Chain A
Amino acid sequence: MNPDASTIAAGAPIEVDIAPIATGQDIKVFWRGKPIYIMNRTKKQIDEARAVPTASLPDPQSDQSRVKEGHDQWLVVIGICTHLGCIPIAHEGNYDGFFCPCHGSQYDSSGRIRSGPAPLNLPVPPYAFLTDTKIKIG
């Protein structure tokens, strides 16, 4: 009763062209049925995320560990609230990150949980930069 072969095949890695995403914009793609936010962060967003002392976070993680080196403005996270699975809205909330309308969890511009009932940061899916403008998710 575990996922069958066709489901697993449909979950094969995808390539996304990120050139059209301007600074401050984000897109949502689907991989394995899950929505994935690809966000081109502004300098302000990156600085805000890095200014936070990591130890003070509910789920301590540095911003640097959640992005790829040399591509710091690109945030790639699975857009599923770690509380009960709703899709948080991008560019909302007090931290210029994500806001989940279901129970009010707020994530910052690094996708980390800051307030609300969600226990964990937005997960980062496995991905890699094929070129500066193309990533492979999965």
Chain B
Amino acid sequence: MSGPSNYNPQNPALKWVERRLPIGGLIHSSFVAYPTPRNLNYWWTFGAILSMMLGVQIITGVILAMHYTPHVDFAFKSVELIVRDVNYGWLLRYLHSNGASMFFIAVYIHMFRGLYYGSYKEPREVLWILGVIIYLLMMATGFMGYVLPWGQMSFWGATVITNLFSAIPYFGESIVTLLWGGYSVGNPTLNRFFSLHYLLPFVIAGVVVLHIWALHVAGQNNPAGVEPKTEKDVVPFTPYATLKDAFGMTCFLLFFAWFLFYIPNYLGDPDNYIPANPAVTPAHIVPEWYYLPFYAILRSIPNKLAGVIAMFSAIIVLAFLPWLDSARTRSSKYRPLAKQFFWIFVAVCFGLGWLGAKPAEGIYVVAGRVLTFCYFAYFLIVLPILSRIEKARPLPNSIAEDVLRKTGKTPVSAMIALAVGGMLMLGAADNARAAEGAPQPPSLKWSFAGPLGKFDQGQLQRGLKVYKEVCASCHGLSFVAFRNLADPGGPGYSAAQAAAFASEYKVKDGPDDKGDMFERNGRPADYFQSPFPNEQAARASNGGAYPPDLSLIAKARGYERGFPQFIFDAFTQFQEKGPNYIDALLQGYEEKPPAGFDLPEGSHYNKYFPGHAIKMPNPLSDGQVTFDDGAPATVQQYAKDVAAFLMWTAEPHLEARKRLGLQVMLFLIVLSGLLYFTKKKVWADAH
């Protein structure tokens, strides 16, 4: 590779290895002595951050794969069992799901950095194209990974995206059948997606090696866009860049930890906590946020094939960037016109992302078409024209000169702009799940909210009683086992009490030695039983409607919080949409629907139910359940307590998660502080 190879180990063992496989020399020349421009800013730490995230995803993914079952009948449950029963399974799962989002945040920043500073220009064209390939592989991996939990969004997202390929003339249908492995998205599809999802990250790792190799041949770009000329322009990678990268990685981990421990479902879709149902299409099919801009482009074009071509072209066009933008000046710092158009482009990307989550109607369609045009115009019209007509500002003579005349402009403002833009985009995804015309449920105070939130054991026990005496006649709770009642962070029963609770239930078991099934008393290892043997029986007994299993209902329901509330929610760690909705729904029945509302036969009017016509009659009435601890026997009390209980059934490890979160955040804050001051000390002589 490149870099001065002055590695000379003294240790005889190392000398022995070095003569046979010069890995030590390679690492030394690539990551220790490697000459790095001394004027790099923090936007350059994202390469290291991305490598770290790839490592995180692979490690958590391999461990998750030890417990996951890639079969349509078991996938959803296996993921829930990982979260509930595997030691720190909840941490692994949330690391992997939030890690994917973090991976994409980092890659978009990394790509925008490349666009702004002209890192794709000669002689780094191949480096850039390898990056585009990595990005494509990431998108494929992310898509297949999202299918694996086999929730409603997994299944329907897979249906929509695999159907895209049918637009290809002649081969389209065959390609789709090959992707599906059958006649529709089904078990063969899930199995092969699992296989490929396991494979692709290692392909990504291979291309990353090529990417870093290509980088080391040309050397890093830098904010001035002026190549290093003398020794004064560069510093050895270690300790200078290593420390800066370490500090950058720690700050990123802090950001990651905030989502991971405190708002792990903020970036996800509640519909994916509903097991996949091929017969029911969710009202709003929305991909994960990192695909939203391309989804908007796809839907902008009214023709099916043209839409698919436009969507893929939006990514492929990136590969041609070195030739579309032939301006000699690399860095937008010295290209005032290009700089302005860059920021407009960033706004266009956020706008497309926001639109991707909106329904494809009315003004959103028009806006989508305008922004799609702007997106392509930036690459195909603006940049080529600017290369010809723009007069760049004078460049510094060297990197050393650039460092000396530091303008002091921090990238903080840019970070904030990006962050705000990102949040607005996410808010749109939130809106996509908006209830049709249903008002926002009131925001209640919950004991488990916030960084130090804990479940109120008395409340959980009361909620369990409400479930058992009222809800259990129609609703199952099949992910909760009786032993969970004695788990830490739960209702706080002793193991003996949980066993006694279990023994009140009759459970089917068998076959016995005669081959017959028999009934026995429940044991702690048994799960709460569903009142109906299957979905069809449930529907038949309930006027065609299926009473959903309640284990995950508190995470499977959401509503629009509106702008700018959803931005504040990320900071206040608001994760209580589900319990707010449940509480409101249970108290939201109205005897008489409002004038003009057509209530179908057999349905009941509920203020908070999307569409307002719910099949479930009002289940609660005052005095229905008496509590041992003297709490009031009112509907309001029942609704609150059962909602809290259902939050526990959905997130049994909530308390452990927040507790570990506090420890990790404190650790990372201290570590980042230490790294910052170490970095400052080491760089003191270089600045």
A interface residue numbers (CB < 8 A to B): 1-4, 7, 11, 28, 30, 32-35, 83-87, 101-104, 117, 119
Quick one: given A33-B182, A33-B278, are A1 and B156 in contact (CB under 8 Å)? no
Contacts of B38 in A (CB 8 A): none
Contacts of B183 in A (CB 8 A): 3, 7, 11, 32-34
Which listed residue (A4, A85, A103, A119) contacts B299, Cβ 8 A? A103
Contacts of A30 in B (CB 8 A): 278-279
Query: Considering the complex, which residues of chain B in the window 168-227 have a beta carbon less than 8 Å from any beta carbon of chain A?
Result: 177-178, 180-186, 188, 192
Closest chain B residue to A79 by CB distance?
B279
Asked if B184 and A33 make an inter-chain contact with CB atoms under 8 angstroms apart, the answer reads: yes
State in angstroms the CA–CA spacing of A20 and B252 once bound together. 62
CB distance from B295 to the nearest CB of A (A): 10
Contact with A along B361-379 (1 / 0, CB 8 A): 1000000000000000000
Contacts of B281 in A (CB 8 A): 86-87, 101-102
Asked if B279 and A84 make an inter-chain contact with CB atoms under 8 angstroms apart, the answer reads: no
Closest chain B residue to A100 by CB distance?
B281
Asked if B279 and A85 make an inter-chain contact with CB atoms under 8 angstroms apart, the answer reads: no
Contacts of B156 in A (CB 8 A): 86
State in angstroms the CA–CA spacing of A85 and B185 once bound together. 11
B27 contacts the other chain (CB 8 A): no
Q: Can you identify 8 A-B contacts, CB atoms within 8 angstroms?
A: A3-B183, A7-B186, A7-B188, A33-B182, A85-B159, A85-B163, A86-B156, A86-B281
Query: Number of B interface residues, CB 8 Å?
Result: 29
Q: Pick the most buried of A3, A4, A104: most chain B CB atoms within 10 A of its CB.
A: A3
B17 contacts the other chain (CB 8 A): no
Closest chain A residue to B179 by CB distance?
A1
B110 contacts the other chain (CB 8 A): no
Asked if B184 and A1 make an inter-chain contact with CB atoms under 8 angstroms apart, the answer reads: no
Asked if B181 and A117 make an inter-chain contact with CB atoms under 8 angstroms apart, the answer reads: no
CB distance from B290 to the nearest CB of A (A): 19
Q: Pick the most buried of A33, A35, A104: most chain B CB atoms within 10 A of its CB.
A: A33
Q: Pick the most buried of A28, A34, A87: most chain B CB atoms within 10 A of its CB.
A: A87
Closest chain A residue to B299 by CB distance?
A103
State in angstroms the CA–CA spacing of A104 and B183 once bound together. 25
CB distance from A10 to the nearest CB of B (A): 8
Query: Considering the complex, which residues of chain B in the window 276-303 have a beta carbon less than 8 Å from any beta carbon of chain A?
Result: 278-281, 283, 285, 299, 302-303
Asked if B285 and A1 make an inter-chain contact with CB atoms under 8 angstroms apart, the answer reads: no
Asked if B360 and A2 make an inter-chain contact with CB atoms under 8 angstroms apart, the answer reads: no
Asked if A84 and B182 make an inter-chain contact with CB atoms under 8 angstroms apart, the answer reads: no
Asked if B304 and A83 make an inter-chain contact with CB atoms under 8 angstroms apart, the answer reads: yes
Asked if B360 and A33 make an inter-chain contact with CB atoms under 8 angstroms apart, the answer reads: no
Instruction: Beyond A3-B182, A86-B159, A103-B359, list 4 extra A-B contacts (CB 8 Å).
Output: A2-B181, A3-B177, A7-B183, A33-B184
Asked if B178 and A1 make an inter-chain contact with CB atoms under 8 angstroms apart, the answer reads: yes
Which listed residue (B164, B181, B283, B359) contacts A84, Cβ 8 A? B164
Asked if A34 and B184 make an inter-chain contact with CB atoms under 8 angstroms apart, the answer reads: yes
Asked if A3 and B188 make an inter-chain contact with CB atoms under 8 angstroms apart, the answer reads: yes
Contact with A along B424-454 (1 / 0, CB 8 A): 0000000000000000000000000000000
CB distance from B240 to the nearest CB of A (A): 50
Query: Considering the complex, which residues of chain B in the window 293-319 have a beta carbon less than 8 Å from any beta carbon of chain A?
Result: 299, 302-304
Closest chain A residue to B187 by CB distance?
A7
B interface residue numbers (CB < 8 A to A): 156, 159-160, 163-164, 177-178, 180-186, 188, 192, 278-281, 283, 285, 299, 302-304, 359-361
Asked if B192 and A1 make an inter-chain contact with CB atoms under 8 angstroms apart, the answer reads: yes
State in angstroms the CA–CA spacing of A119 and B304 once bound together. 7
Asked if B177 and A2 make an inter-chain contact with CB atoms under 8 angstroms apart, the answer reads: yes
Q: Pick the most buried of B184, B186, B299, B359: most chain A CB atoms within 10 A of its CB.
A: B184
CB distance from B184 to the nearest CB of A (A): 3
Asked if B186 and A1 make an inter-chain contact with CB atoms under 8 angstroms apart, the answer reads: no
Contacts of A4 in B (CB 8 A): 181, 188
Contacts of A1 in B (CB 8 A): 178, 181, 192
Closest chain A residue to B361 by CB distance?
A104
Which listed residue (B186, B279, B285) contacts A35, Cβ 8 A? B279
Closest chain A residue to B178 by CB distance?
A1
List the 8 closest A-B pairs by CB distance, nearest first: A33-B184, A32-B183, A85-B163, A86-B281, A85-B159, A84-B160, A7-B182, A87-B281
Contacts of B304 in A (CB 8 A): 83, 117, 119
CB distance from B601 to the nearest CB of A (A): 15
Q: Pick the most buried of A1, A2, A3, A85: most chain B CB atoms within 10 A of its CB.
A: A85
Asked if B283 and A101 make an inter-chain contact with CB atoms under 8 angstroms apart, the answer reads: yes
CB distance from B187 to the nearest CB of A (A): 8
State in angstroms the CA–CA spacing of A102 and B281 once bound together. 8
State in angstroms the CA–CA spacing of A38 and B477 once bound together. 34
State in angstroms the CA–CA spacing of A124 and B275 once bound together. 29
Q: Pick the most buried of A28, A33, A84: most chain B CB atoms within 10 A of its CB.
A: A84
State in angstroms the CA–CA spacing of A22 and B304 once bound together. 37
State in angstroms the CA–CA spacing of A7 and B192 once bound together. 14
State in angstroms the CA–CA spacing of A10 and B192 once bound together. 19
Which listed residue (A2, A7, A84) contacts B163, Cβ 8 A? A84
Asked if A87 and B285 make an inter-chain contact with CB atoms under 8 angstroms apart, the answer reads: no
CB distance from B621 to the nearest CB of A (A): 34
Which listed residue (A3, A34, A117, A119) contacts B360, Cβ 8 A? A117
State in angstroms the CA–CA spacing of A85 and B179 once bound together. 15
State in angstroms the CA–CA spacing of A100 and B59 once bound together. 41
Asked if A28 and B360 make an inter-chain contact with CB atoms under 8 angstroms apart, the answer reads: no
Closest chain B residue to A28 by CB distance?
B279
Asked if A87 and B280 make an inter-chain contact with CB atoms under 8 angstroms apart, the answer reads: yes
State in angstroms the CA–CA spacing of A35 and B183 once bound together. 11
Closest chain A residue to B158 by CB distance?
A85
State in angstroms the CA–CA spacing of A28 and B188 once bound together. 23
Contacts of A11 in B (CB 8 A): 182-183
Contacts of A34 in B (CB 8 A): 183-184
Contacts of A86 in B (CB 8 A): 156, 159-160, 281, 285
Asked if A2 and B178 make an inter-chain contact with CB atoms under 8 angstroms apart, the answer reads: yes
Closest chain A residue to B156 by CB distance?
A86
Contacts of B163 in A (CB 8 A): 84-85
Asked if A35 and B360 make an inter-chain contact with CB atoms under 8 angstroms apart, the answer reads: no
Which listed residue (B186, B280, B359, B361) contacts A33, Cβ 8 A? B186
State in angstroms the CA–CA spacing of A11 and B285 once bound together. 28
CB distance from A126 to the nearest CB of B (A): 13
State in angstroms the CA–CA spacing of A101 and B283 once bound together. 6
Contacts of B159 in A (CB 8 A): 84-86
Which listed residue (B177, B185, B360) contacts A103, Cβ 8 A? B360
State in angstroms the CA–CA spacing of A20 and B99 once bound together. 52
Quick one: given A83-B304, A86-B156, are A102 and B182 in contact (CB under 8 Å)? no
State in angstroms the CA–CA spacing of A101 and B611 once bound together. 13
CB distance from B368 to the nearest CB of A (A): 12
Closest chain B residue to A83 by CB distance?
B304
CB distance from A78 to the nearest CB of B (A): 10
CB distance from B568 to the nearest CB of A (A): 31
Asked if B184 and A3 make an inter-chain contact with CB atoms under 8 angstroms apart, the answer reads: no
Closest chain A residue to B160 by CB distance?
A84
State in angstroms the CA–CA spacing of A125 and B187 once bound together. 22
Asked if A102 and B285 make an inter-chain contact with CB atoms under 8 angstroms apart, the answer reads: yes
Which listed residue (A35, A101, A102) contacts B278, Cβ 8 A? A35
